[in-house]
Structure 1
């Protein structure tokens, strides 16, 4: 029974050591010296050998709220959500008769007699188009100092 226990414990370590050994070969293979690109490959590998550098990583965040502050904000948000849900549940969402509402709106619109101004002559149409083009022009650029 102890032999089985030793096998169970040692087999994963042996597999891990084998994988580590193989990965070392896979991640640093030697370039074939007979290849016409061997010198170029070696130079590119040498340039990137020290990458990534610590200065290339983003800086650690600052002014991060601690867990208690986040917990307080979440608790307040959940409480306000509960209050809002109670208020929404108390609203009477009955709209009444939709046809009567539409009829009332149509009567109010008909009573206003709003006329849309239209351009009748080609000269008026051209003047309207010119005024719209003038309004559509972009404003002049803002002068910004060079940095």
Structure 2
């Protein structure tokens, strides 16, 4: 059963199981059980729990290495997001690299890999449209 978590800042959490979760500050979101602990380790909290005061001590060395605050720029080109073609080209490049860390177990391109390639978040509907272009051999 999913757990509802919230972050006090915009945050991106990637898990070793291939989950890629974006949190907007103070907006609760449902998180699959397998991703709850990495999200908590990254600084999220259960919805309804009070935020703890910011700590001034350095982060612990045992923190999940695959979790990080969202540090990507909000946009790449003066307020415009990527086009379907740009997303498809990034996906094709990642597929051609054949880097297992950038692909899911079924061979799909990981969302965080696409976002890293483009330097910005991508909307799900554009990612899906780009994937269809690749499936059709258009890219």
Q: TM-score, normalised by structure 1?
A: 0.14
Q: Which has the higher strand share?
A: 2
Q: TM-score, normalised by structure 2?
A: 0.14
Q: Which has the higher helix share?
A: 1
Q: Which structure would you say has the larger RCO, counting Cα contacts within 8 Å and 6 or more residues apart?
A: 2
